[in-house]
C-alpha cells in the first residue's frame, strides 16, 4: 500500500536525520527537517478514509509549519513565538482529534483518571514554576502553551482508559513523548543548555508524531461490510 511506503520512508529519513543531528551537522536542518512530517502526512492522506482523517492532517500541517518557522528561531525571538503559535494550534487540533475518537462505550475508571489528572496538573504547575524566573516577556505565551499541551496529554490519557488496546497505548505514549520533547526544548532554552539538545528534542518529537499517527489509524480500522 502506498501509505505504508510513506511511513517506511519516514522512518528511514528520521534515522538519517537523527544521525546527522547527533554528529553535529545542524546546518543541514534547513534541507532535511521540512521533509519529515510531510512524509507522515502523505502516509495519512493515502490511507483509507475515516471520520477524523482531515483533523489529523490539520494537526500534522500545523506541526510542519511550526517545524519550518523554528528553523529561523536563532534569527529573532519572533520566529520562536510564531513557531510556538503553530504548535499551539497543532496541539489544540490534537485535542479535537482525540475527543473525536471517544465513543463512551467503555466506562471510564474514575480513580485512575483522577490520579492521572493530578499527575498531569503537577507536571504543568511544576514546569511553569520552574521556568518562570527565566521566561521574561514570554511568561504568558509559555504558560498558555504548557496548559494546552497538558490538556492534550489529558485527552490522550482519557482515551487510553476507554479506547481499544493497543491503539490507545500508541496515542497515549505518543502524547507523553511529545510532552517530554517540549519539556527538553523548554529546559534547554530557558534554564540550561543540554548537550546534543537538538538530537534529543527531535528524537522524542519524531517518535511522538509517529506513535500518535499509528495509534489513530489503528483506532479507525476498516469496517467489515
Q: Tens digits of per-residue pLDDT, 4-13?
A: 899 999 999 9
Which of 75, 152, 192, 160 has its CA nearest to residue 144?
Answer: 152
- Tell me how far apart the alpha carbons of residues 79 and 126 are, in angstroms, rounded to a whole number: 26
Say how many C-beta atoms besides its own lie within 10 A of residue 15's C-beta: 11
Residue 3 has pLDDT above 70, yes or no: yes
Sign of the C-alpha dihedral computed for residues 159, 59, 219 and 211 taken in this order: negative
Q: Measured between alpha carbons, how far is residue 28 from residues 6, 88, 202 in Å?
A: 22, 26, 14
- Tell me how far apart the alpha carbons of residues 131 and 96 are, in angstroms, rounded to a whole number: 28
Q: What is the mean pLDDT of residues 80-88?
A: 93
Place 102 in a pLDDT band, splitting at 50, 70 and 90: low
Which cell is 46 given? 493515502
SS3 letters across 13-79: HHHHHHHHHHCCCHHHHHHHHHHHHHHHHHHHHCCCCCCCHHHHHHHHHHHHHHHHHHCCCCCCHHH
- Name, in order, each residue with C-beta under 8 angstroms of 191's C-beta and a sequence gap of 6 or more: 130, 131, 134
Q: Measured between alpha carbons, how far is residue 90 from residues 18, 67, 74, 96 in Å?
A: 23, 11, 22, 10
Which cell is 143 given? 504558560
Q: What are phi and psi of 202, to 5 degrees?
A: -75, -35
What is the residue-averaged pLDDT of the chain? 90
What's residue 105's pLDDT?
A: 57
Q: Which of 39-43, 171-175, 218-222 has the lowest mean pLDDT?
A: 218-222
Q: pLDDT digit string (tens) for 104-161?
A: 556 677 788 898 899 999 999 999 999 988 888 888 989 999 999 999 999 999 999 8
What's residue 109's pLDDT?
A: 74
Which of 182, 172, 161, 158 has its CA nearest to residue 211?
Answer: 172
What percent of the chain stands above pLDDT 70? 95
The reported pTM is 0.92
Residue 99 has pLDDT above 50, yes or no: yes
What's residue 18's pLDDT?
A: 94
Residue 29 has pLDDT above 80, yes or no: no
What's residue 224's pLDDT?
A: 46
Residue 225 has pLDDT above 50, yes or no: no
Amino acid at each position: 500500500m502506498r501509505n505504508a511506503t510513506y511511513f517506511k520512508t519516514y522512518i528511514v529519513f528520521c534515522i538519517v536525520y537523527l544521525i546527522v543531528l547527533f554528529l553535529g551537522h545542524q546546518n543541514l536542518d534547513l534541507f532535511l527537517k521540512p521533509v519529515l512530517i510531510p512524509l507522515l502526512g502523505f502516509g495519512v492522506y493515502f490511507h483509507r478514509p475515516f471520520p477524523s482523517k482531515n483533523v489529523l492532517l490539520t494537526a500534522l500541517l500545523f506541526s510542519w509549519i511550526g517545524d519550518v518557522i523554528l528553523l529561523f528561531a536563532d534569527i529573532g525571538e519572533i520566529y520562536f513565538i510564531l513557531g510556538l503559535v503553530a504548535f499551539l494550534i497543532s496541539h489544540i487540533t490534537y485535542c479535537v482529534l482525540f475527543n473525536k475518537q471517544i465513543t463512551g462505550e467503555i466506562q471510564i475508571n474514575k480513580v485512575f483518571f483522577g490520579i492521572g489528572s493530578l499527575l498531569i496538573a503537577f507536571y504543568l504547575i511544576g514546569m511553569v514554576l520552574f521556568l518562570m524566573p527565566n521566561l521574561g516577556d514570554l511568561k504568558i505565551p509559555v504558560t498558555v502553551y504548557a496548559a494546552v499541551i497538558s490538556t492534550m496529554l489529558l485527552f490522550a490519557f482519557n482515551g487510553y482508559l476507554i479506547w481499544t488496546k493497543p491503539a490507545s497505548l500508541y496515542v497515549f505514549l505518543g502524547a507523553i513523548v511529545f510532552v517530554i520533547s517540549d519539556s527538553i526544548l523548554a529546559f534547554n532554552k530557558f534554564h540550561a543548555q543540554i548537550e546534543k539538545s537538538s538530537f534529543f528534542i527531535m528524537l522524542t518529537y519524531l517518535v511522538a508524531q509517529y506513535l500518535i499517527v499509528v495509534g489513530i489509524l489503528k483506532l479507525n480500522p476498516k469496517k467489515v461490510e
